[in-house]
Structure 1
Amino acid sequence: MAVEKLFESENFLIVNKPFDMYINSDDENEKNTVTYHVASPDSHLSSSLFPLHFVQRLDYATSGVLCIAKNKSSAARAGKLFEKRLTMKYYLAVVRGHVAFEVADIEFNVGVDPTTADSSHRMSALTTSEASERCLQSRHAHTRALRLETGYYDNRPVSVLLLKPVTGRRHQLRVHCSAVGHTILGDYTYSGTRDSMPHRMFLHATRLVLPLPEEPLDIQTAEPFFSDPKFSSKWRSDTAYYKYRNKEDFKGVCDILNKSYVIGVQYKMYKM
């Protein structure tokens, strides 16, 4: 599967990562990686002649905008923006069920699921004080969500959401969606291995804003789901609340999600 280059300069390479692809691998024979497609297979190692620096991560199953720095100084500048939460990341997700809210803030702590602590494959949300034994080393996590459309996938109710992670915990969006009862479509791990029929997990990093003083970046991909015949052939719309499928409309809904809570919207706060 090809890796599309969205932007390239002296300092950064930004690509559209396909779903079900690793970012890198220590196995020199592994070809299903971003680094294999855009550089030498060992480019994620400091010993490489042309090392790359990943200033963010995307899960194996998640597709979308991935920022790669070409040198240490650029990686440090971008890393500080992520650390100080000055970047803005926007994801398109299709989740199971029709959500009742228009806008939601999800602020459940995210920690390690002790049943997979040795492998770190799965995280957990701290939804009640009694759940602390099932959520180790938890840290504050915050996700904002905007309902874009409801419909049906394979005759089962689903919703299209715009997600903005305010914090950057491992598996945060997947864990938070699952914790509020709307697991991401095709998320095998957080559905308890039940959601295995869709051909992919429907979570896509659609837009990344990096306010670098010398090189401000606002990178966006095309809409990834409705242009996929495997999805669109099984999709039936119910209610469209916003236009979002072209790039300008998507920026518009990002602006809506950036606003503070406004009286009159169907708002929900999820917090322990």
Structure 2
Amino acid sequence: MAVEKLYESDNFLVVNKPCDMYINSEDKNEKNTVTYHIAKPDSHLSSSMFPLHFVQRLDYATSGVLCIAKNKLFAARAGKLFEKRVTNKFYLAVVRGHVAFEVADIEFKVGVDPSTADSSHQMLALTSSEALAKCTQSRHAHTRALRLETGYYEDNPVTVLLLKPITGRRHQLRVHCRAVGHTILGDYTYSGKADSTPHRMFLHATRLVLPVHEEPLDIQTNEPFFTDPKFSTKWKSAKVYYKFRSKDDFKAVCEILNRSYVIGVQYKMFKM
């Protein structure tokens, strides 16, 4: 499976990571990695002759924009921007069910699920005081969501959401979606291994805005789901709330989530 290069300079390489692919691996024989396709298999190691520095991470099942620094200087500069939360990341997701809200802020803390601490290390959104007492390493997490379109996938109700993570916790978008009752379509792990029919998990990092002073980046992929016959042939639209399938339309809806509030929309806050 090819890894598309979206942008390259002396300081950065930005790629469109396919779904169901690792970023890197300690196994020298593992070929299903981003590093194998774009560089040397050991390029994620500091001992490499041509090391790459991953300034962000994407889950194995998540596709989309992945930024890599080519040197330590710009890795550090990009890393500081992520730490200060001045970057903007936008994801397209298809979730199970028809979402009632138009815009939502989801601010449940996220921590390690104690029941999986010795196995899969799944994360848990803390929606009750009982969960908070049991969970370990919990941290504040904040996701903004915008309803784009409702429809049906194989006659089952689903919703297309635009997601903007304000914080960057492990599996944050997946556990936040599950916490509000709308698991991401094809998320085998966070559906309790029940959602196994779709050919992939429908979460895609569509746009990354990284305001590095010397080299500001605003990288966007094409819309990934409706151009895929494996999805589009099983999809039936019910209602379009916002146009989003072209790059210009997608940038326009991103601006809605960049605002602190939106007048005249159905808003919901999820917080314990």
Pick the TM interval, shorter chain.
Answer: over 0.9
Secondary structure of 1:90's partner?
strand
Equivalenced residue count is 272
**Following the alignment from structure 1 to structure 2, what is the Cα–Cα distance between the partners of residues 214 and 119?**
43
Tell me which amino acid in the other structure corresponds to 1:116: T
Query: Residue 207 of structure 1 corresponds to which residue in structure 2?
Result: 207
Structure 1 stretch 147-156 or stretch 129-138: which is displaced more?
129-138
2:143 is equivalent to residue 127 of structure 1: no
Tell me which amino acid in the other structure corresponds to 2:158: V
**Per-residue deviation at 1:133?**
4.1
Tell me which amino acid in the other structure corresponds to 1:34: V
**Following the alignment from structure 2 to structure 1, what is the Cα–Cα distance between the partners of residues 109 and 214?**
35
**Per-residue deviation at 1:241?**
0.4
**Following the alignment from structure 1 to structure 2, what is the Cα–Cα distance between the partners of residues 230 and 72?**
40
Secondary structure of 1:77's partner?
helix
**Following the alignment from structure 2 to structure 1, what is the Cα–Cα distance between the partners of residues 259 and 29?**
47
Q: Are the aligned partners of 1:207 and 1:220 in contact in 2 as well (CA < 8 Å)?
A: yes
Secondary structure of 2:231's partner?
helix
Q: Are the aligned partners of 2:256 and 2:262 in contact in 1 as well (CA < 8 Å)?
A: no
Secondary structure of 1:80's partner?
helix
**Following the alignment from structure 2 to structure 1, what is the Cα–Cα distance between the partners of residues 119 and 26?**
17
Q: Are the aligned partners of 1:125 and 1:135 in contact in 2 as well (CA < 8 Å)?
A: no
Task: After superposition, give the CA deviation of every residue in 1:112-166 in whole Å (9 maximum; x if it has no partner).
Answer: 0012213453100110111124422110000000000000000000000000000
Query: Residue 69 of structure 1 corresponds to which residue in structure 2?
Result: 69
CA 1:149/1:134 → structure 2, altered by over 3 Å: closer, same or farther? Answer: farther
Query: Residue 267 of structure 1 corresponds to which residue in structure 2?
Result: 267
Structure 1 stretch 256-265 or stretch 189-198: which is displaced more?
256-265
**Following the alignment from structure 1 to structure 2, what is the Cα–Cα distance between the partners of residues 246 and 180?**
28
Unaligned regions of 5+ residues in structure 1, if any? Answer: none
**Following the alignment from structure 2 to structure 1, what is the Cα–Cα distance between the partners of residues 152 and 169?**
30
**Following the alignment from structure 1 to structure 2, what is the Cα–Cα distance between the partners of residues 23 and 250?**
26
Unaligned regions of 5+ residues in structure 2, if any? Answer: none
Counterparts of 1:27-46 in structure 2, within 5 Å, are 27-46=27-46
Structure 1 stretch 109-118 or stretch 221-230: which is displaced more?
109-118
Secondary structure of 2:238's partner?
strand
Secondary structure of 1:214's partner?
coil
Tell me which amino acid in the other structure corresponds to 2:170: R
Tell me which amino acid in the other structure corresponds to 1:22: Y
Q: Are the aligned partners of 1:123 and 1:135 in contact in 2 as well (CA < 8 Å)?
A: no
Tell me which amino acid in the other structure corresponds to 2:115: T
Task: After superposition, give the CA deviation of every residue in 1:36-63 in whole Å (9 maximum; x if it has no partner).
Answer: 0000000001111000000000000000
TM-score, length-normalised on structure 1? 0.99
Query: Residue 106 of structure 1 corresponds to which residue in structure 2?
Result: 106
Secondary structure of 1:146's partner?
strand
Query: Residue 10 of structure 1 corresponds to which residue in structure 2?
Result: 10
**Following the alignment from structure 1 to structure 2, what is the Cα–Cα distance between the partners of residues 185 and 133?**
30
TM-score, length-normalised on structure 2? 0.99
**Following the alignment from structure 1 to structure 2, what is the Cα–Cα distance between the partners of residues 200 and 92?**
14
